């Protein structure tokens, strides 16, 4: 619990790490969208090559990326099974009540690959961007939503405060748990209902302390002249550099390639 | 004397006590007709037991609380004028008790930048101020660390740096050491004195540890929202029994000297350090 | 009850890059009825040590015995042990959760499986022992003052009738008046109930005033263990590990070094006063 890291950022100095977070956010988004239009093996081939190239450039160890994959393994399995057995078409194999069709096998493979690439792309983004910078990028990226009176600055500030307090609250949870266990509490006994009830001595103090912290923090922010996003300047303002332009160009080339391949086949 | 940096006149703050159902039970006067002047460049300690009104008092100095009838002036600005609140908070920065609950940034230097960012200071200037503040608090090598990895004393120094980057004339430290171990406490008090001495910043230290007030220019002892005692450390520390009655204590060496004096050993009225006592005894 | 630590080593997150050794080969005996002061700067292993005494943490190596039984054994009842070895954490008021003070104090004894009647009886007794007025018993613990909350939290542990009471900095954040009251409360409980008390503290003066045995920790190990006079006689060694001696001890040590015939191993202001008066008022 002590060494907890949020996000799963991997510290390195790769070209991907140095990119402006907006580039990464935008490109990842576009990549995911174009994946949903991909409907032939060639398009998937190109997308896979691009994704692996990014992994190589990021210098993040492959096992760290694979670790993120584990979470969606079950989902991928279900998707594959459904598509494999429930797609009608030319029968490939038949046994007992199951039939596998050629179309089914193809869709299943593409679905699995799509899911895999989707997770891969977002992992590469979160592994190479600190949660901080991601929040900044979101704030800037969502700016157009201000017209619809979406409190963009406040949302970003909330996210960044949440990120700061998650490790503190997780440490606090551990402390309260220990204190209640010292009073004979058990958190791992009995049926579901009993277990849920046993969480009360943990959750009430945690809420109380969160509210106290929130109050303290609000006061501290006010004391440091916080008055919303208006007129705020930044220590690290987001500024595009040449490398960001190059990154956009490279990505645009990839996107064009994808569109050609999707149209062509 | 130069114009007072902090001036209060009959400062009074009352709040309504409520019972469990929310019905008013009575009125508590947290601060009761408090008048004082603090000279620029001085180091002032405000001491008092829990509930003596010292934190409520402190919050008035930063316009976090605003008096209704009485008045508080910070650097000549009346805190009742809400247009001046940002200027007041720039002039008088505030550090709170719990270091975890006042650090906003996820990285040390970003937290230090928070104040200047809110003030709309241009980016290049923020960089300058942050670097300067970190340097002054000897935190330069920690600037890219997560605050969660720092000790309590270091976290409080980050909080002080965050205030310092706003270039205040005065820093109010509201029980900054209450949650720290002895090392952390010494670290924070030493830092406060250094900023006072070398940077000329007025320091108002709120505490219930009398020993932290030993090197102050002036001590105010609060009780029930009123000034119960006031004077130099030597004047205040001589009144051992009165302090005890106010649920405060003096450093052990002061207490020992007081015991000895009462038994008839020839000693000065108040002894503040071990050196002083030993030197007074070994002639 | 008797607690024995036998070559206990504790490593947090072993076999990971974050692995950190918090206790190194600690052997200790804690007998009955003593008042032990546990000192050491932050990170010296005090908190890890005390969590081994009631089985919240298990040694990575070595064993902890309670009345001769290894508490890490699968069949050992660690919950019952937590009733016998009461542990009051730092800022214990942060663990309060019930709607009223009385119910909160009942939580511990109830968890021990006692009858409703016995539970309430113990809760009453504990609340009386910590000196809380009956008016507050049915109040919400969150409406009390800081000092009162802390008493409720201590009562919550006392209600289990522990034979050993461990307190991790019970005076942290209290003003001097509140600190004095809590410490004298603990001292009187120890005397009247014959409990063993282990007081974790940063204040050398407090430890000197109350403890009859002091254990000094540094870098995860026990570096000193003896009476206050024995421990504070090693002032230089203490300073080396970032600790100090009570000011009264320091004064007498310096006077002694200057050739004045006072005992250099006094530990309290009153003792020092007697010694110095003996030399100067003749």
CB contact under 8 A, C255 and B50: no
> Residue B137's domain spans which residues?
6-234
| A228 DSSP 8-state letter | -
Annotate chain B with DSSP letters as a single string: -PPPSEEEEEEEEEEEEE-TTS-EEEEEEEEEEEEEEE-TT-EEEEE--TTSSHHHHHHHTTTSS--SSSEEEETTEETT-GGGHHHHHHHEEEE-S-GGGT---SSHHHHHHHHHHHHT--HHHHHHHHHHHHHHTT-GGGTTS-GGGS-HHHHHHHHHHHHHTT--SEEEEESTTTTS-HHHHHHHHHHHHHHHHHH--EEEEEES-GGGGTT-SEEEEEETTEEEEEE-HHHHHT-HHHHHHTT----HHHHHHHHHHHTT----S---SHHHHHHHH--
Query: What's the pLDDT at A251?
Result: 95
CB contact under 8 A, B183 and C242: yes
Pick among A171, A210, A235 to test the B interface (most B CBs inside 10 A): A235
The CA distance from B160 to B157, in Å, is 5
CB contact under 8 A, A219 and B96: yes
From the list C129, C191, C137, the residue with the least C-alpha distance to C159 is: C129
pLDDT tens digits along C12-28: 988 877 789 999 999 99
**CA closest to C281 among chain B residues:** B265
| C170 DSSP 8-state letter | T
Query: What's the pLDDT at A5?
Result: 42
Q: Chain B: nearest CA to A24, how far in angstroms?
A: 21
Spatial contact of C215 and C228, defined as CB atoms under 8 Å apart: no
CB contact under 8 A, B278 and C246: no
| C67 DSSP 8-state letter | T
From the list B133, B189, B193, the residue with the least C-alpha distance to B163 is: B133
Give contacts of C 190-229 with B, CB under 8 A.
202, 205
pLDDT tens digits along C186-208: 999 999 888 999 999 999 999 99
Query: What's the pLDDT at C282?
Result: 65
Identify the helix (H) or strand (E) that includes residue C61. Answer: strand C61-66
ipTM above 0.85, yes or no: yes
Residue B265 in any domain: the answer is no
Q: Chains meeting B at 3+ CB pairs closer than 8 A?
A: A, C
Please name the residue that has the structure tokens 């109050």. A215
**For residue B185, what is the domain's CATH number?**
3.40.50.300
**CA closest to A212 among chain C residues:** C94
Minimum-distance CB partner of B182 among C140, C143, C202: C202
Q: Chain C: nearest CA to A196, how far in angstroms?
A: 15
Q: Chain A: nearest CA to C241, how far in angstroms?
A: 25
Q: How many A-B residue pairs are in contact by the CB < 8 A criterion?
A: 92
Q: Which residue has the higher pLDDT, C103 or A107?
A: C103
CB contact under 8 A, A224 and B166: yes
Share of chain C above pLDDT 90, in %: 89
Task: Give the residues across from B16 on adjacent strands.
Answer: B27
Statement: residue B14 has pLDDT above 80: yes
Q: Is C119 in the A-facing interface, judged by CB distances under 8 Å?
A: no
Query: What's the pLDDT at A216?
Result: 95
Residue A171: both structure tokens together: 């440490």
Query: What's the pLDDT at B1?
Result: 47
Minimum-distance CB partner of C176 among B183, B247, B259: B247
Weakest mean pLDDT among A24-38, B18-32, B227-241, C212-226: B18-32
* Average pLDDT over chain B, rounded to an integer: 93
Residue A95: both structure tokens together: 């046994």
pLDDT tens digits along B203-232: 999 999 999 999 999 999 999 999 999 999
Query: What's the pLDDT at A88?
Result: 81
CB contact under 8 A, A233 and B114: no
Highest average pLDDT, of A36-40, C18-22, C266-270, C278-282, comes from: C266-270
B3 — pLDDT class (breaks 50, 70, 90): confident
The CA distance from A250 to B221, in Å, is 68
- The arithmetic mean of pLDDT across residues B26-43, rounded, is 92
Query: What's the pLDDT at A172?
Result: 93
Query: What's the pLDDT at B76?
Result: 93
CB contact under 8 A, B110 and A236: yes
Task: Give the residues across from B230 on adjacent strands.
Answer: B220
Q: Chains meeting C at 3+ CB pairs closer than 8 A?
A: A, B
A6 — pLDDT class (breaks 50, 70, 90): very low
Statement: residue B7 has pLDDT above 80: yes
CB contact under 8 A, B110 and A235: yes
Spatial contact of C101 and C144, defined as CB atoms under 8 Å apart: yes
Residue B48 in any domain: the answer is yes
- Measured between beta carbons, the chain C residues lying within 8 angstroms of B256 are 247-248, 251, 269, 272-273
- The arithmetic mean of pLDDT across residues C48-57, rounded, is 95
Q: How many domains does chain B have?
A: 1
Statement: residue A121 has pLDDT above 70: yes
- Measured between beta carbons, the chain B residues lying within 8 angstroms of C136 are none
pLDDT tens digits along A182-213: 999 988 777 888 888 889 999 999 999 999 99
Query: What's the pLDDT at A7?
Result: 53
pLDDT tens digits along A209-249: 999 999 999 999 999 999 988 889 999 888 899 999 999 99
Minimum-distance CB partner of B260 among C247, C254, C273: C273
Minimum-distance CB partner of B118 among A131, A216, A225: A225
Pick among A224, A232, A237 to test the B interface (most B CBs inside 10 A): A224
Q: Is C240 in the B-facing interface, judged by CB distances under 8 Å?
A: no
Spatial contact of B221 and B233, defined as CB atoms under 8 Å apart: no
pLDDT tens digits along A11-65: 888 999 999 999 999 999 999 999 999 888 899 999 999 999 999 999 988 887 8
Statement: residue A4 has pLDDT above 80: no
Cβ count within 10 A of residue A81: 11
pLDDT tens digits along B132-171: 999 999 999 999 888 988 999 999 999 999 999 999 999 9
Task: Give the residues across from B6 on adjacent strands.
Answer: B38, B74
Query: What's the pLDDT at A106?
Result: 84
Q: Chain B: nearest CA to A14, how far in angstroms?
A: 18
Query: What's the pLDDT at C37?
Result: 97
Query: What's the pLDDT at C241?
Result: 92
Annotate A28-60 with DSSP letters as a single string: HHHHHHHHHH--SHHHHHHHHHHHHHHHHHHT-
What stretches of C85-140 show up as alpha helix (H) in DSSP? Answer: 101-111, 116-129
The ranges assigned to domains in chain A are: 15-129+239-264, 145-223
pTM for this predicted structure: 0.88
């Amino acid at each position: 619990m002590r060494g907890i890291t949020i996000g799963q950022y991997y510290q390195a100095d790769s070209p991907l790490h140095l990119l402006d977070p907006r580039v990464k956010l935008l490109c990842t988004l576009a990549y995911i969208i174009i994946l949903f239009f991909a409907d032939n093996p060639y398009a998937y081939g190109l997308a896979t090559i691009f994704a692996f190239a990014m992994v190589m450039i990021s210098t993040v160890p492959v096992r760290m990326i694979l670790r993120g994959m584990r979470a969606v393994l079950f989902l991928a399995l279900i998707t594959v099974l459904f598509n494999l057995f429930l797609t009608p078409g030319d029968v490939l194999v038949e046994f007992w009540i199951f039939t596998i069709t050629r179309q089914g096998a193809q869709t299943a493979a593409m679905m699995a690959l799509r899911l895999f690439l989707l997770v891969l792309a977002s992992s590469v983004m979160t592994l190479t961007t600190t949660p901080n910078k991601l929040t900044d990028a979101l704030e800037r990226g969502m700016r157009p939503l201000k017209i619809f009176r979406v409190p963009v600055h406040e949302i970003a500030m909330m996210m960044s405060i949440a990120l700061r307090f998650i490790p503190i609250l997780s440490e606090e949870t551990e402390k309260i748990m220990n204190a209640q266990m010292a009073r004979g509490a058990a958190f791992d006994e009995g049926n579901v209902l009993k277990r849920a009830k046993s969480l009360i001595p943990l959750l009430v103090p945690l809420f109380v302390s969160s509210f106290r912290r929130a109050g303290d923090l609000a006061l501290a922010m006010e004391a440091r002249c916080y008055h919303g996003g208006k007129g705020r300047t930044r220590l690290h303002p987001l500024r595009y550099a040449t490398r960001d332009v190059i990154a956009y160009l490279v990505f645009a080339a990839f996107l064009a390639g994808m569109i050609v391949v999707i149209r062509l086949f | 004397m130069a114009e007072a940096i902090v001036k209060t006149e009959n400062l009074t703050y009352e709040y309504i006590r409520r019972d469990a159902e929310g019905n008013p039970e009575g009125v508590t006067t947290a601060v009761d007709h408090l008048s004082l002047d603090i000279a620029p460049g001085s180091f002032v300690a405000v001491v008092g037991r829990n509930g003596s009104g010292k934190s409520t008092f402190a919050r008035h100095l930063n316009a976090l609380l605003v008096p209704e009838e009485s008045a508080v002036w910070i650097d000549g600005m009346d805190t009742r004028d809400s247009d001046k609140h940002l200027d007041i908070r720039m002039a008088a920065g505030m550090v709170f008790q719990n270091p975890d609950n006042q650090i906003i940034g996820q990285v040390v230097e970003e937290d230090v930048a928070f104040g200047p960012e809110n003030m709309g200071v241009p980016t290049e200037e923020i960089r300058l101020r942050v670097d300067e503040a970190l340097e002054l608090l000897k935190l330069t090598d920690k600037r890219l660390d997560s605050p969660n990895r720092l000790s309590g004393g270091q976290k409080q120094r980050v909080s002080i740096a965050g205030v310092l980057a706003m270039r205040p004339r005065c820093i109010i430290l509201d029980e900054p050491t209450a949650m720290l171990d002895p090392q952390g406490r010494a670290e924070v008090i030493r830092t406060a004195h250094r900023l006072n001495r070398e940077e000329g910043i007025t320091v108002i230290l709120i505490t219930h540890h009398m020993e932290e007030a030993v090197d102050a220019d002036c001590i105010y002892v609060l009780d029930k929202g009123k000034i119960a005692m006031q004077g130099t450390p030597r004047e205040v520390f001589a009144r051992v029994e009165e302090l005890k009655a106010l649920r405060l204590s003096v450093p052990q060496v002061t207490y020992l000297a007081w015991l000895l004096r009462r038994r008839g050993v020839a000693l000065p009225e108040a002894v503040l350090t071990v050196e002083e006592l030993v030197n007074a005894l070994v002639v | 009850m008797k607690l024995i630590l036998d070559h206990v080593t504790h490593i947090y997150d072993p076999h990971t890059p974050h692995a950190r050794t918090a206790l190194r080969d600690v052997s200790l005996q804690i007998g009955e009825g003593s008042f032990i002061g546990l000192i050491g700067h932050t990170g010296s292993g005090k908190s890890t040590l005390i969590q081994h005494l009631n089985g919240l943490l298990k040694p990575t190596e070595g064993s902890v015995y309670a009345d001769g039984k290894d508490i890490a054994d699968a069949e050992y009842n660690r919950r019952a042990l937590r009733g016998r070895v009461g542990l009051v954490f730092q800022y214990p008021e942060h663990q309060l959760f019930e709607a009223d003070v009385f119910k909160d104090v009942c939580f511990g004894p109830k968890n021990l499986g006692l009858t409703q009647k016995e539970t309430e009886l113990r809760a009453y007794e504990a609340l009386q022992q910590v000196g809380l007025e009956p008016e507050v018993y049915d109040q919400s613990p969150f409406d009390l003052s800081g000092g009162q909350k802390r008493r409720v939290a201590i009562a919550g542990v006392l209600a289990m009738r522990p034979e050993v009471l461990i307190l991790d900095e019970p005076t942290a954040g209290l003003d001097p008046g509140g600190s004095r009251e809590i410490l004298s409360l603990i001292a009187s409980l120890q005397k009247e109930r014959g409990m063993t008390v282990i007081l974790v503290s940063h204040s050398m003066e407090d430890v000197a005033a109350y403890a009859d045995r002091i254990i000094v920790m540094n870098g995860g190990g026990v570096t000193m263990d003896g009476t206050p006079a024995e421990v504070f006689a090693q002032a230089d060694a203490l300073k080396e590990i970032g600790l100090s001696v009570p000011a009264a001890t320091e004064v007498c040590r310096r006077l002694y070094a200057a050739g004045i015939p006072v005992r250099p191993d006094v530990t309290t202001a009153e003792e020092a006063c007697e010694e110095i008066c003996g030399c100067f008022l003749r």
